[in-house]
Amino acid sequence: MRVFETTLKAVRLPSPKGRPRTRPKYLAGDKAYSYRPVFADLRRRHIRPVIPPRTGGNMGKGCARAFDPDLYRRRNVIERCVGWLKGCRSIATRHEKLALNFATMVKLAFLRQYLRMLRPSDRS
């Protein structure tokens, strides 16, 4: 639960004007986050959970019974991005130990991927 709370505290969503938002409207997670303390924390923060119920249906009191499958499908973009980052060796093996250097390597990996997308295909 500590990692969950720490991650939510680190959220900074840019807004068109003013300070960045620190509270998302929705939180999508997999079945591993489908337990009471998570739902209670989200309810306290007024965040709508997009978490599928655990199999067996024994969710217990205080857990969301329904979720929006369309919003849940949008997690795919994040899952693919994380999977792609794991494929970058220097990031997956965490060669850079300092957080600043590690963040720089992540940015460089994204830049490299973006440039690959811009380059015309060599296959003819």
- Let me know whether 29 and 8 are in one domain: yes
Q: Are residues 45 and 106 in the same domain?
A: no
Q: Closest Cα partner for 62 from 93, 37, 84?
A: 37
Residues 3 and 64 in one domain: yes
**pLDDT over threshold 60, residue 124:** no
Residues 21 and 68 in one domain: yes
> 29 with 83, same domain?
no
Q: What is the pLDDT of residue 60?
A: 58
Which of 72, 95, 115 is a domain's end point? Answer: 72
User: pLDDT: is 68 or 107 the higher one?
Assistant: 107
Per-residue pLDDT at 59: 59
Assess whether 11 and 53 both reside in one domain: yes
Query: Domain limits at 92?
Result: 74-124
Question: For the whole model, what pTM was predicted?
Answer: 0.63
Reported confidence tier of residue 14, pLDDT bands at 50, 70, 90 = confident
Are both 68 and 96 inside the same structural domain?
A: no
Number of domains in the chain: 2
Give the model confidence (pLDDT) of 24-67 as tens digits: 888 888 888 888 888 888 889 899 888 887 776 555 565 666 77
